[in-house]
Amino acid sequence: MAGHDRRASGWNGGQVAGLVLIGLGILFLLDTLGFARFVGRFFWPAVIVAIGVVVLLNATQRDEGASSASVPREGVSRLALEIAVGAGTFRFAGGASELLEVRSSRSDIATRLDREGDLGRVSLRQDVATWPTTWRGATDWEIRSASDIPTALRLDAGAGDFTLDLSAIPIVDARIQIGAAKARIALPQPRGAVEIRVTGGATRLEFHAPAGVEYRFESSGGLNSVDGRTETPGYATATDRVLIRFTGGASSIRLG
């Protein structure tokens, strides 16, 4: 089934590049018409001015207010959720009335839904095509997912501050990749054996286990400092349990 793509309106990277190319084309046209001396003296200053004009237009014309988006349920009973974000503050939790609900302090949300029977594949990403907006500070997102739909989560995140509360989401599998960031992850209430794979750079991670959740933590890779219990007493015999596998560079990890 064809997907539905929703994104914030505004200038994008292609439009910016197009206007710059138009400016360059005008300069080369002047060169062709015999204004070589003009082009030779003013080519690079003109390029800088052209880029500055585009950036200024982008800054003044683009709506930088808060934005929101939602993905309807549309009969979905299983969810494969992929999130790709860059720099900023991001909070993810359950409790959505729709399949997914997002609010941002900027107009930088892009979503897509593809249906495969009862499986909904949702792509949520931070629209960074309008790159000049990043000069005015990082974004702030709140993401909520449905609490009654089994969810396979994929998160690809850059630098920032991340709070992932999975305790109210029926997570069946999670793959989390984080760059230079700080992240707090509340483990899900597992149904069966649930595996959470985390890959990180220079990160500071905190894992919190709700009462009664049995878990085990394994790490490999660089110089990792681990503080806290790496395995709960009942993990080995539990049917419902969480296995955390971490691979990364120089990271500080706290479990509790």
What is the mean predicted confidence (pLDDT) over 132-141?
64
Q: What pLDDT is attached to residue 177? A: 92
Confidence band for 55, pLDDT divided at 50, 70 and 90: low
What average pLDDT does the chain have?
A: 82
- Quick one: pLDDT at residue 136? 47
Listed in sequence order, the residues at least 6 apart from 116 whose beta carbon sits closer than 8 Å to its beta carbon are 1
The residues pairing with 47 across neighbouring beta strands, listed in sequence order, are none
Distance of alpha carbon 50 from alpha carbon 68, whole angstroms: 32
Q: For 240-250, what is the mean pLDDT?
A: 90
Q: pLDDT band at 109, cuts 50/70/90?
A: very high
Residue 70 corresponds to which tokens in the numbers above? 């939602």
| Top-confidence residue, 185 or 56 | 185
Q: Which residue has the higher pLDDT, 21 or 69?
A: 69
pLDDT of residue 108: 92
Give the Cα separation of 11 and 62 in Å (integer): 7
Query: Is the confidence at residue 35, as pLDDT, over 90?
Result: no
**Has residue 145 got a pLDDT over 80?**
yes
Give the pLDDT score at 133.
46
- Provide CB contacts within 8 A for 69, sequence distance 6+: 6, 101, 102, 109, 111
Count of positions (residues) in the chain: 256
Beta-sheet strand order (sheet of 88-96): 67-71, 100-104, 139-146, 88-96, 160-165, 181-186, 204-208, 251-255, 224-227
Is 121:114 a contact under the CB 8 Å cutoff? yes
pLDDT of residue 1: 44
Tokens describing residue 212: 């009664």
